[in-house]
Amino acid sequence: MTFSVTTSSTFSIIHARYLSSKVAADMHLCAQYYGKPTEARVREYAEELAQYLNAGYLQEYEFGYKKDGKRIVCCDIRWMRTVISRRTTGRQDCPYVDVTGAVFSIS
Note the pLDDT tens digit of each residue in 9-37. Answer: 677 889 889 888 888 888 888 888 888 88
Q: Provide the number of structural domains found in the chain.
A: 1
Domain membership flag for residue 7: no
Q: What is the mean pLDDT of each run of 10 residues along the chain (107 residues)?
A: 64 86 86 87 92 83 80 55 53 61 75
- How many percent of the chain have pLDDT more than 70? 67
Domain membership flag for residue 58: yes
Q: What is the pLDDT of residue 43?
A: 95
DSSP at 37: S
Domain membership flag for residue 6: no
Q: What is the pLDDT of residue 8?
A: 57
Domain membership flag for residue 2: no
Residues comprising the chain, all counted: 107
Domain membership flag for residue 8: no
Average pLDDT, the chain: 75
Domain membership flag for residue 5: no
Phi, psi of 60 (to 5 degrees): -135, 150
Phi, psi of 34 (to 5 degrees): -120, -5
Query: Domain residues for 89?
Result: 13-106
Domain membership flag for residue 18: yes
